[in-house]
Chain A
């Protein structure tokens, strides 16, 4: 099991727990999708996994090891990468500098950095063409591509994606999901929080639905698709 969350309780203040006992498993090499209405605690769950919030109760295991109490900047060393919501390239740094920062934790190892850069450029030739440009002048789709490329620089095991398609125009949305499918083919373990129900289910292996900080539903994609209308109607 790549990532396992047991009975987690967490929130921004002690009195109001946003997550009220959530359980979740993300299996190796699979795409696990978390759905739910606004305020269900989806993004908060990712933040709690990644150490931005310290859970008041519960356990987070990655590769069987507890990662509760680790700081966000420890997580990549544990093999967990995290794409935060919204734009996150460093706009006034070059594409290559952005990628090098993706490999910050292996900065002393020039050989490894070089190999990682080469493989990223092989996969995204457009980033190679533009590697000397400032990331801020890339198009929205290219910036997303750079963010995904940056995530994979160190070869993490698990990737957390927070609303990867939000705010993008439809054509780019498809591109983003194609990238996620590629990551899946490369055997990354992927956990996605998404508002784009149809798209994210189409690439999912297993689906969780949260409501008001609790598990509302879980099951393999096929089961979920059958009951999709019922579940979504409940949210509205």
Chain B
């Protein structure tokens, strides 16, 4: 390890931007996971497969159809929004209606089943070949000794824009308020005329859309592949735990931190160590703060 490299601004920012890009992806994934958990109580283990479908949607639009990348990202998000709502309405909602009190445990197993089915369907339909693009946006920004590719800046811009939009939606729109109300007291929300079923369906749709968007956005780093969702989902679950279960802002901060820490550890040690670092971080933080870094209460916060 040569820590004198830390004094080089070019290297420092290069690694920082790498970390932020990675963190932005974790943040998109983790905020969806955390939103779904915070509001429905469901731990969606098939979230990585929604990411995977996003990468295929992106590949389809930008490479097969040859359309511009913004359309691809929009399509990936929209397709997954619809698909997520369908999944919720057909599978999760059915389970909630039938299984009664212990349905969350069943839902946990259901989402693992969804993971297996989606992965294998992708394998049958698309095969094992990796399908990606080398870059969505060409060119680099040169600023003194610092060099950042426009692609990375684009990823950061889109991810922050989407994050802000999500925050504003939850905070200010009436549907957003209904979603928060349903998270805090579903019974009371229902007596005020809020359709909990619809809230759950839309919430799952939003979570899926965020995963699809992440998949589309990062296709140049993570080419479409049936198991491409594995790394993102493992890391984003770690972020959800670190940020405090169901705490969306906490998950986003944890995601950015994790991305940066991973980038530096990869740079100074080797790529193989990044999973060790993540796991160690989760263990240490859970020992010191069992309910996560940013939990103000034990309950969810949207």
Taking Cβ atoms with an 8 Å cutoff, the residues of A that contact B are: 50, 71-77, 81-84, 88-93, 97, 100-102, 104-105, 107, 150
Judge if B64 is at the interface, Cβ distance under 8 Å: no
Give the interface centre of B181, B193, B194, B195 by most chain A CB atoms within 10 Å: B193
Q: Which of B177, B184, B185, B190 contacts A73 (CB 8 A)?
A: B190
Q: Given A84-B187, A104-B174, A107-B174 in contact, is the A73-B193 Cβ separation under 8 Å?
A: yes
Residues of A within 8 A of B193 (CB): 73-77, 104-105
- Answer whether residue B134 sits at the interface, using C-beta atoms and an 8 A cutoff: no
Asked whether B188 lies within 8 Å of A90 as measured between CB atoms, the reply is: yes
Q: Which residues of B contact A75 (CB under 8 A)?
A: 191, 193
Question: Which residues of the partner chain A approach B180 to less than 8 Å between Cβ atoms?
Answer: 90, 92-93
Q: Are the CB atoms of B191 and A101 closer together than 8 Å? A: no
The 4 A-B pairs with the shortest beta carbon distances in the complex, nearest first, are A88-B188, A105-B193, A76-B193, A90-B184
Q: How far is A210 from B172 in the complex, measured between Cα atoms in Å?
A: 45
Contact assessment for B187 and A101 in the assembled complex, using a CB-CB cutoff below 8 Å: no
Residues of B whose CB lies within 8 Å of any CB of A are 174, 177-178, 180-181, 184-185, 187-196, 301
Chain A residues with CB under 8 Å of B189's CB are: 90, 101
Number of A-B contacts (CB under 8 A): 63
Assembled-state Cα–Cα distance A93/B177 (Å): 9
Report A-chain residues with C-beta under 8 Å of the C-beta of B177.
93, 97, 100-101
A83 to B191, CA, bound (A): 8
Given A73-B195, A101-B178, A104-B194, output 4 extra A-B contacts at Cβ < 8 Å: A74-B193, A90-B185, A92-B180, A104-B178
Q: Whose C-beta in chain A lies nearest to the C-beta of B182?
A: A90
Given A73-B190, A73-B194, also A93-B178 (CB < 8 A): no
B103 → chain A, closest Cβ, in Å?
15
Q: Which residues of B contact A50 (CB under 8 A)?
A: 191
**Minimum Cβ distance to chain B for residue A174 (Å):** 24
B-side contacts of A74, CB under 8 Å: 193
Decide if B188 touches A84 in the complex (CB within 8 Å). Answer: yes
A84 with B191: CB separation less than 8 A = yes
8 cross-chain CB contacts under 8 A: A76-B191, A83-B191, A90-B181, A90-B189, A100-B174, A101-B194, A104-B192, A104-B193
- Nearest chain A residue, comparing its CB with the CB of B195: A73
Residue in chain B with minimal CB distance to A84: B187
Chain B residues whose C-beta falls within 8 Å of the C-beta of A91 in the assembled complex: 184
Judging by beta carbons under 8 Å apart, are A92 and B192 in contact?
no
Chain B residue nearest to A12 in the complex (CB): B100
Chain B residues positioned under 8 Å from A93 (CB to CB):
177, 180-181, 184
Q: How many angstroms from the CA of A93 to the CA of B2 in the assembled complex?
A: 50
Q: Are B191 and A72 in contact (CB under 8 A)?
A: yes
Please give me the residue from chain A that is nearest to B173 by CB atom: A107
B-chain residues with CB within 8 Å of residue A71 when the two chains form the complex: 195
Q: Give the shortest distance, in Å, between B169 (CB) and chain A (any CB).
A: 15
Q: Is the CB of B178 within 8 A of A73?
A: no
A92 pairs with B301, CB closer than 8 A: yes
Instruction: Enumerate chain B residues within 8 angstroms of A89, measured Cβ to Cβ.
Output: 185, 188
Most buried by B among A73, A84, A100: A73
Q: Could you say which residues of chain B place their CB within 8 Å of the CB of A77?
A: 193
A83 to B190, CA, bound (A): 11
Closest A residue to B100 using CB positions: A12
In the bound complex, residues from chain B placing their C-beta under 8 Å from that of A76 are 191-193
User: Is B192 a contact of A150 with CB atoms below 8 Å?
Assistant: yes
Chain B residues positioned under 8 Å from A97 (CB to CB): 177
Distance of B123 from chain A, by nearest CB (Å): 41
Closest Cβ of chain A to B244, distance in Å, is 13
> A101: which B residues are within 8 A, CB to CB?
177-178, 181, 189, 192, 194
- Check B184–A92 contact: CB distance below 8 A: yes
Instruction: Give every chain B residue within 8 A of A100 (Cβ-Cβ).
Output: 174, 177
Task: For the complex, give the distance between the alpha carbons of A212 and B100 in Å.
Answer: 25
Q: How far, in angstroms, from A92 to B247 measured CA to CA in the complex? A: 13
CB distance from B115 to the nearest CB of A (A): 32
Instruction: State whether A102 touches B192 (Cβ < 8 A).
Output: yes
Measured between alpha carbons, how far is A150 from B180 in the docked complex, in Å? 16
Q: A93-B180, A97-B177, A104-B178 are in contact. Are A72 and B190 (CB under 8 A)?
A: yes
B191 touches A82 (CB 8 A): yes
Assembled-state Cα–Cα distance A132/B180 (Å): 17
Q: Contact check, B185 vs A88: say whether CB atoms are below 8 A apart.
A: yes
Measured CA separation A199–B190 after assembly (Å)? 29
B82 to chain A, nearest CB (A): 23
| Chain A hits for B194, CB < 8 A | 73, 101, 104
Nearest residue, chain B, Cβ from A85? B187
Report chain B residues within 8 Å CB of A150: 192
Rounded to whole angstroms, the CA-CA distance of A97 and B187 in the bound complex is 17
